[in-house]
Amino acid sequence: MKEPASSLTVTLIQTALHWENISANLDMFEQKIGSITEKTEVVILPEMFTTGFSMNPSAFAEPMEGPTVQWMKRMAATKKIILTGSIIIEEGGDFYNRLIWMLPTGEFGYYDKRHLFGYAGEDNHYTAGHKRLIASVKGWKVNLQICYDLRFPVWARQSSALMNQEHFDPKKNSEPEYDLLINVANWPERRNLAWKTLLQARAIENQCYVAGVNRVGNDGGEVYHSGDSMIIGPLGEILYHSSHKEDVFTYSLQWQPLHLARTNLPFLKDADPFMIGI
């Protein structure tokens, strides 16, 4: 395997959102993205960044050829970045909480949130996704997830395509499936201990970097969000943490600490082989 580039630079945008106001949020994010002066390669926005965590998809859903995806194409091309975050999408009569991974070329991938937050009725309004999306940039492999997915470790668990083979031996081939886990969220402050703890747990158990991007401020139901966006290293170390304020933060993830963690502490080779059933 060709070794990835030595670093991957990411920018996390932690911000309040204008409740169910697509145009105001796009204007706000355009200003924040335009204000980034550092060289960056991936810019990460929160979950449902155009509306907040809305359970009114029929009023705010867009098609994939709609204005927000076009805006993402324009911003990614203008800034020469990969731009990612989730929005409400309508497709085939169903609504999805869909994360878009937009390249500066206008090409994109997407991930539909697998675990819908039944406590807030998300499962009554949206259709769950069934496939993970692991993207690649500069040789780095990036697993993309949304908010409540964080509570389900099997969905994030490192695996190998070879695990699906009849005679797979994890002690002989434990090539990690990804290097960075990104989770975009609208995670309330009242459960922020779980958010912070699980971000670190996902990094430790998967020997990967984790970037969690959450919003701040009250939503339309007066539910307060403290942000607590974080970047976690592969040993669980906190590399960045911001709470209760808007912040635009750029950080270069380094390949060498990741490689050393996996080489000096080769825990992944002892993992149980498994397949995810849908």
Active site residues: 47, 113, 147
**246-272: burial string, b at 16+ Cβ within 10 Å, e else:** ebbbbbebebeebeebbeeeeebeebe
Report the chain's C-alpha Rg in angstroms.
18
Q: Please work out, in degrees rounded to the nearest 5, the angle formed at the alpha carbon of residue 164 by the alpha carbons of 160 and 165.
A: 110
Q: Residue 218 CA to chain centroid, in angstroms? A: 21
- In the chain, the largest separation of any two C-alpha atoms, in whole Å, equals 54
The CA dihedral of 55, 61, 67, 72, to the nearest 10 degrees, is 60
Amino acid at 210: V
Assigned token pair, 23: 């145009």
Whose tokens are 């940039």? That residue is 137
Which 3 state secondary structure label does DSSP give 38?
A: coil
Q: Which residues contact 37 (CB under 8 A, 6 or more apart)?
A: none
3-state helix, strand, coil in the chain (%, to 5): 30, 30, 40
Amino acid at 131: K
Bridge partners (DSSP) listed for residue 128: none
Please state whether 231 falls in left (phi above 0), alpha (psi between -120 and 50) or beta.
beta
